[in-house]
Amino acid sequence: MTTVMQAPPATGDTAVVVPPSRSSARLDRIWRIGFGVIVAALLLFLLAPLVVVILTAFNDRLVAFPPQGWSLESFRNVPGYMFEALWLSVRVAALATVIAMLLAFPATIALVRGEMRGKAALLAFFQSPLQVPAIVQGLALYQLYIALNPWGVALRGSFTGLLIGHVILVFPFILNAMLGRVAAIDTNLELASYGLGAGFLRTTWLVTLPLMRPALIAAGFLAFLVSFDDTSISLFLTQVGGATLPLTLLYTSEQALSPMLYAMSAIVVVFSLVLALVVDRVFGLRTVMSRD
């Protein structure tokens, strides 16, 4: 039996307390069970493709779920270019995150602490890449690189060119996370630092920056994943032979499906899962993922 909410004691003669009726208790139980079933089904729906990817990787020859013949063969068959693609993705994501942070940090301090005209407009400007689909940004950068080519700037298909695209991609995520955190910092701490004779740079470095550390880690983590997941921008900024990991998986799957493809995917799933669990243990996912 479900426990029925105790009605609050009546405080006056006029207060009428209706005791929960029997039929309402039964209705409540049906409602709760139905709700639980729906939520469980949705959680299963969320997990399904991840489980499928991991198990499919253990097929020996065919791509099937449940697997037809169990084997670790597919993991041995992952070609070297897949790991090169993984390494490229990791490098781009890590560097783009760091560069975007270096760009966003001073901007954040100025946007939150600075006194200037047109702050709202500046803020909107800095966040505007979020409003442009990544595929459009990719196309636009691709056209820019083509236009720059005759001028001796060879960004097309280069690592730097790809990196620039990813910095633009992750910049607004990092900026938003930093803005929320700096705005929440108690300004008295900074004022105390000024009062003790520290200058602006010293205060920012020794007071503001350490206070922002959780936000920096959270933002960096999110940015890494956004960059690591991207196909839209990389599609235009890499060549088929030297693409990032998600794109290499996409290109390969457009040719044919093979257990090897799923072995590599399973490696990525485990990698991301470990990352997510570590973040949850150390920081708590909810604190990291809540926007402000």
Partner 1 sequence: MNTRRWYPVLLPAALFLIVFFVWPEVQFLRLSFEEYQGQARSGGGPTLRNYTDVLSDPFLRKGILTTLRLSAIVAVITALVSYPLAIAIVRAGPRLARAMFVIVVSSMFMSGVVRALGWRVLLGDSGMVNDVLLALHVVDTPVTLYGSFTGVTIGMVHLLIPYAVLGIIPIVESVSPQLLQASYGMGASRPYTFFRVTLPITARGLIAPLLLVFALTAGAFTTPTLLGGGRVGVLSIYIREQTLMLLNYPRGAVYAAILLVLVFAVFLAGFLASGRRARRAKRRGPAATEVTP
- Residue 282 near partner 1 by CB under 8 A: no
Question: CA gyration radius for the chain?
Answer: 26
- Residue 33 near partner 1 by CB under 8 A: no
Distance CA 104, CA 93 (A): 16
Distance CA 96, CA 93 (A): 5
> What are the structure tokens assigned to 172, written together?
């607004």
Q: Where does this chain touch partner 1 (CB under 8 A) — which range of 74-82, 97-105, 177-185, 209-217?
A: 97-105
Q: Where does this chain touch partner 1 (CB under 8 A) — which range of 21-29, 71-79, 182-190, 207-215?
A: 21-29
Do 166 and 91 contact (CB within 8 A), yes or no?
no
- Binders of partner 1 in range 206-225 (CB under 8 A): 225
Which of 95, 122, 211, 217 lies at the binding interface for partner 1 (CB under 8 A)?
Answer: 122
Do 137 and 252 contact (CB within 8 A), yes or no?
no
CB of 124 or CB of 192, closer to partner 1: 124
Give the chain's end-to-end CA distance (angstroms, integer): 40
- Residue 64 near partner 1 by CB under 8 A: yes
- Residue 147 near partner 1 by CB under 8 A: yes
Distance CA 11, CA 51 (A): 56
Which of 85, 208, 236, 260 lies at the binding interface for partner 1 (CB under 8 A)?
Answer: 236
Q: Where does this chain touch partner 1 (CB under 8 A) — which range of 71-79, 161-169, 182-190, 209-217?
A: 161-169
